[in-house]
Amino acid sequence: MTNPLLDEWQSEFALPPFSQISDDDFAPAFEAAMAAGRAAHATIAANPEAPDFANTIEAMEQADALLDRVAGVFFNLAGSDSSPAREELQRTLSPKLSAYSSEIINNRALFDRIEALWSDREALGLTDEQSRVLMLYRRMFVRAGAALHGTEAARLTDVKSRLASLGTQFTQNLLADERDWMMPLEDLAGLPDFVISTARAAAQDRGREGYVVTLNRSLIVPFLQFSTRRDLREKAYAAWVARGANGGDTDNRAIAAEILALRAERATLLGHENFARYKLETEMAGSPEAVRALLMQVWEPARAKAGADAAKLEALLHADGHQGPLEPWDWRFYAEKLRKSEHDLDETALKPYLALENMIAAAFDCAGRLFGLEFRPLDVPLYHPDARAWDVTREGRHMAVFIGDYFARTSKRSGAWCSTMRSQRKLGGEVRPIVVNICNFAKGDPALLSYDDARTLFHEFGHALHQILSDVTYGFISGTSVARDFVELPSQLYEHWLEVPDVLSQHARHVETGAPMPQDLLDRLLAAQNFDQGFATVEYIASALVDLEFHDGPPPSDPMQKQAEVLDALGMPRAIRMRHATPHFAHVFAGDGYSSGYYSYMWSEVMDADAFEAFREAGDAFDPATASRLETYILSAGGRDEAEALYTAFRGRMPGVDALLRGRGLAA
- Annotated catalytic sites, by residue? 460
Burial class (CB in 10 A: 0-12, 13-18, 19+), 158: middle
Residue 51: how many CB atoms within 10 A of its CB? 20
- End-to-end Cα, the chain, rounded Å: 69
Q: How long a stretch of residues is the chain?
A: 668
d(CA 17, CA 7): 10
Q: How far is CA 74 from the centre of its chain?
A: 18
Contact status, residue 467 vs residue 243, Cβ threshold 8 Å: no
Q: CA–CA separation, 241 vs 359, rounded Å?
A: 30
What is the C-alpha to C-alpha distance for residues 268 and 284, in angstroms, rounded to an integer?
22
Strands 397-407 and 417-422: unpaired
Cis amide linkage into residue 222, ω under 30° from 0? no
Please name the amino acid found at residue 360. I
DSSP state of 213: E
Q: Are 367 and 493 in contact (CB under 8 A)?
A: no
Asked if 387 contacts 380 with a C-beta cutoff of 8 angstroms, the reply is no
Q: Cβ of 249: how many Cβ atoms within 10 Å? A: 8
Directed axis angle between helix 230-241 and helix 217-226, to 10°?
150
For residue 211, the SS3 value is strand
Q: Are 474 and 438 in contact (CB under 8 A)?
A: no
